[in-house]
Structure 1
């Protein structure tokens, strides 16, 4: 039986014997036990007191480390935490095996409710963007502002470069892909992922590549790695096909929080043309476009993303401070 075919009840009980995820300077890791969930949370405490809380949600195949480049640039503005979604990073797989967008959103809500940190400045990338949208629509009381980097919202014409990700969602294909690529090294896999997610993969430094390879090597040892990938990819596909009140675009229309949208001109997974539709769907939105960025602008161009985030969050906090003074 392949790792992708491990029953949920067994996979959830497995304690992987692998090294923990790495921690950047100033970051801390903690494990949060919730009913049916064990979540890993990476935090970068604010550099000054009285800052509002923020929560960062990564995309498919990623982890809380995806935000390690951006978080320090906002550390004087927000008290940041980034979670590993169930089954990713150092978070255990969900005991109920639910990798749907709604399931991930419930995990985020339960974390915020348990910690009493809401309302937060909520960030999401790709799958995390769809999750954050669902959270903001369902629980406006938990969200101050919403920042979405290449959010995975439904497209009628999906880019060809995004099809392999969708195919992983097909039952059995993840196991087949694993067999066909069993001779690939972690470096080959990391380079392949970067070629799709970065606007300019050639600009990746040797240090960044080493970190990505090391991360992937440890994740490939996890018995639930492919199960989390396939289940979450299936969750995105299923969310794309939902219509009516449950559709992600309808959810976007119900978001009350001010929203900052970040799109990359070289994104091969979420089309740049979706920026206009997103700007219309989210009622109180502003748009940052980065022509040279790919799918993970907060990793590729954190120095360009951060100023817009600072202005956006700073204006929100200043406006609410004035209202509180009245």
Structure 2
């Protein structure tokens, strides 16, 4: 594994010059070269030595920045890192062009294996929830606990508001959408995304909104932006259709790690009704329902999510102590 710290795109020799990625106070960003993929990893300096490691995985169209508020809330609790999936955030596309859920999971596993930080407390949102579910199922040795915020697990009847996102995976639709919306400003696009993803968009501060606009403007300059979106959306749809041992619900049943499930009552992308099914599928689960939250509870209510995770951590540490194995 090769690693360099930089606030700019790591593959600058092959990518166009764009504005640097924003790095928040207390954060650093580094580029990690792995076989077939280069990943950008956002981290916070641990408050002290010996904190348990954690890795956070964002959703479709997101980036490691989606976890900044929660990572800050968990200072002193975890040694936190958040990854930009291939083709998102500051990570260039994967060499093989594989944006499937399995492809993204493979990238996460490669990073964890190379970093040697496992087992970690693994967090996933939306697409990242599907990815981390697969990681936890196939590599239980890498996962200490699993926290899923509105995970993209198969639904027989998706919400009407989620249909446009699924349609992005249809060949040609992303290109058509790009042409139809070429006059839209970054501000208009961000407002639309926030209206879709937040239970209450008014909770977004003007500063956070401006940061989101600047990040979208940066990413729209990348030639692979819409391809990464479309192929990853197609990957979710394909994962929904898989049956047998590769099906996501079957893999959820195989997860051994204690699991915290967080669902928002105003989520327009993942049905709130799926919460109880998920609680039944994951064998060692606990469910947090947030009636006013949307699709990104860790951004809307980071303090509530952090409290729930601390409770999970205490519970698992107590269980480990009782069994004589530790955490």
Partner of 1:18: 18
1:46-94 deviation digits (Å, cap 9, x = unpaired)? 2122111000000000000000010011121110000000000000100
Q: Distance in 1 between matches of 2:264 and 2:281?
A: 18
Q: TM-score, normalised by structure 2?
A: 0.94
Q: TM-score, normalised by structure 1?
A: 0.94
1:145-166 deviation digits (Å, cap 9, x = unpaired)? 0000000000011000000000
| Distance 1:204-1:289 versus aligned 2 partners, 3 A rule | same
Pairs within 5 Å for 1:234-253: 234-253=234-253
Q: Distance in 2 between matches of 1:313 and 1:223?
A: 41
**Residue 225 in structure 1 maps to residue 221 in structure 2:** no
Unpaired segments of 5 or more residues in structure 2? 1-10
Q: How many residues align?
A: 316
Offset at residue 190 of structure 1 (A): 0.3
Partner of 1:8: none
1:127-179 deviation digits (Å, cap 9, x = unpaired)? 00000000000000000000000000000110000000001000000000000
Partner of 1:270: 270
1:234-284 deviation digits (Å, cap 9, x = unpaired)? 000000011111110000000000000000000000000000000000000
Partner of 2:8: none
Partner of 1:7: none
Q: Distance in 1 between matches of 2:155 and 2:16?
A: 36
Offset at residue 13 of structure 1 (A): 7.8
Partner of 1:145: 145
Offset at residue 313 of structure 1 (A): 1.6
Q: Distance in 1 between matches of 2:135 and 2:20?
A: 28
Offset at residue 324 of structure 1 (A): 3.9
Unpaired segments of 5 or more residues in structure 1? 1-10
- Aligned to 1:68, the other structure's residue is in SS state helix
Q: Distance in 2 between matches of 1:179 and 1:12?
A: 27
Partner of 1:306: 306
Partner of 1:35: 35
Partner of 1:316: 316
The Cα RMSD (Å) is 1.5
| Distance 1:320-1:49 versus aligned 2 partners, 3 A rule | farther
Q: Distance in 1 between matches of 2:313 and 2:106?
A: 25
- Aligned to 2:303, the other structure's residue is in SS state helix
- Contact 1:41/1:83 (CA < 8 Å) preserved in 2? yes
Partner of 2:58: 58
Q: Distance in 1 between matches of 2:319 and 2:77?
A: 15
| Distance 1:321-1:99 versus aligned 2 partners, 3 A rule | same
- Aligned to 2:124, the other structure's residue is in SS state strand
- Contact 1:174/1:230 (CA < 8 Å) preserved in 2? yes
Partner of 1:183: 183
**Residue 78 in structure 1 maps to residue 81 in structure 2:** no
Partner of 1:290: 290
